[in-house]
Structure 1
Amino acid sequence: MTKLFEQAIETVRGLPAEQQDALARLVMQFAAVDQPALELSAEEAASFDESLAQAERGEFATEEQIRAIWAKHGL
């Protein structure tokens, strides 16, 4: 294990169990270990398709909209 990965593990140990489990799932998915393929619901797939269509039409969020989203999340 690399030193950086060891640092990451130490950092995660200080997080609540729910966050630790979420991060563990992400690492395992990234490593493709013992995780089923992600399946989108019909609603998620439709939303994704609409997002792709918007991008193809050149419809992107304005800087003002992006700033509002960042502000909403304290960024």
Structure 2
Amino acid sequence: MTKVLEDAIEKVRQLPEDRQAYVAEVLEQIAAAGSDVFTVPEEHRAAVLEGLEQAERGEFVSDDEMAALWKKCGL
């Protein structure tokens, strides 16, 4: 295992259980793909595209809202 992966796993250990479950789900999907190209699930792709469209329209959250999100995520 690479050092960067070990460091990332240590950070994940500090997250709340529901976030750890999400990380595990994503890692399982990547591992299941083996050395094939990882395909982003359509619902994730749709969410990213929606966010990009919002950014293009100048729709951003405030610094306070971002700080609250990071705190909620344990970051």
How high is the TM-score relative to the length of structure 1?
0.49
How high is the TM-score relative to the length of structure 2?
0.49
More relative contact order in 1 or in 2 (CA 8 Å, sep 6+)?
A: 2
Find the structure with the greater CA-based Rg. 1
